């Protein structure tokens, strides 16, 4: 492996102990900080998703602050397949997905789909 490139071993072992701290995301930080940073509050996940859409309805639930369930109702989903809708949500969360956000179940609907499911006309 050439110098300056991250190999699979570095990625796999990125949270190993380093002196009195932990190598957290490739930066040496106190262990208490990494433990706190490794969990996300549902309200923060909601905020990050909301920022990525104009006039969206976003609800996020979590029982353990690592596994989340999100409902996102946004006009930006119109004409998009489920995978493309999920990618728009993932884009809002960036590198948090797979790290602080271990799992995310997404229900992504347009406003019309939401009204139809809600029984409104």
* Mean pLDDT per 10-residue segment, the chain (121 residues): 34 33 38 55 96 96 95 98 98 93 96 92 60
65 Cβ contact list (under 8 Å, min separation 6): 39, 40, 41, 42
Query: CA-CA distance, 37 to 107, in Å (whole number)?
Result: 26
> How many residues can be counted in the chain?
121
pTM above 0.75, yes or no: no
Instruction: Report residue 14 as tokens.
Output: 């990125």
Where in the sequence of the chain do the CATH 3.30.300.90 domains occur? 42-118
Q: What is the pLDDT of residue 39?
A: 78
Q: What is the pLDDT of residue 17?
A: 34
What's the DSSP call for residue 5?
A: P
Indicate the class that CATH gives domain 42-118: alpha beta
């Amino acid at each position: 492996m050439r110098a300056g490139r991250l190999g699979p071993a570095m990625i796999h072992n990125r949270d190993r102990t380093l002196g009195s701290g932990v190598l957290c995301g490739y930066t040496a930080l106190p262990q208490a900080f990494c433990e706190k940073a490794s969990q996300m509050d549902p309200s923060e996940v909601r905020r990050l998703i909301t920022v990525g859409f104009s006039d969206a309805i976003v609800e996020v639930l979590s029982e353990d602050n690592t596994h989340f369930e999100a409902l996102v109702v946004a006009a930006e989903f119109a004409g998009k397949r489920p995978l493309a809708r999920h990618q728009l949500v993932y884009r809002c969360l960036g590198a948090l997905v797979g790290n602080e956000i271990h799992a995310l179940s997404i229900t992504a609907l347009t406003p019309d789909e939401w009204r139809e499911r809600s029984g409104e006309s």
